[in-house]
Amino acid sequence: MANFHTTTIGKLFYVCLLILFSLNVTYAQEDTECILFVRPVQPPKFPGGNKAMLDFITKNLKYPEGLEEHIGGRVILKLEVKKDGSIGEIKALRTPHKALTKEVIRVVRLFPRFEPGKQNGVPVKMWILLPVWVCLQ
């Protein structure tokens, strides 16, 4: 019996995942003109990196009271990181429940300033995607 990892479908699945996770599309906006950068020179960075962001979210996220304990899943937010590193507009792209999204947005509003994204050494406003898994343990 063939192993999933060695089958054609398995290989195709992993290639699709590799492509999905290697894409880094970031949007930058200068005043009224919107520019799309694929692979900006420097995307926005959370102070201390992704591990620090995960720790920050884990420390500050509270499961909403009154919500059934079995509701959980992935909340995907689109965040505007301004030229000064602050968080601007936040859009929910996917949510298992409005109460979970509201809580994740509350935590994102607590974020310290990011190191802003830069294009050619100049800080620019950029959009980033932030997936957050919410579950009870």
Q: What pLDDT score was predicted for residue 88? A: 96
- Determine, yes or no, domain membership for 77: yes
DSSP per residue over 80-127, as a string? EE-TTS-EEEEEEEE-S-HHHHHHHHHHHHTPPPPBPPEETTEE-EEE
Residue 40 sits in a domain whose CATH number is 3.30.2420
Spell out where 2-64 has E strands.
Answer: 25-30, 33-38
Q: What pLDDT score was predicted for residue 66? A: 75
- Determine, yes or no, domain membership for 116: yes
- Determine, yes or no, domain membership for 11: no
Structural domain of 44: 24-134
Q: What pLDDT score was predicted for residue 92? A: 95
Q: What pLDDT score was predicted for residue 124? A: 92
Number of domain units in the chain: 1
pTM given for the model: 0.69
- Determine, yes or no, domain membership for 14: no
- Determine, yes or no, domain membership for 9: no
The CA–CA distances, whole Å, from 14 to 2, 17, 22, 39, 76 equal: 16, 5, 12, 22, 22
- Determine, yes or no, domain membership for 15: no
- Determine, yes or no, domain membership for 55: yes
Mean pLDDT, 10 residues at a time, over the chain (137 residues)? Answer: 43 33 43 57 91 94 78 90 96 91 95 93 92 80
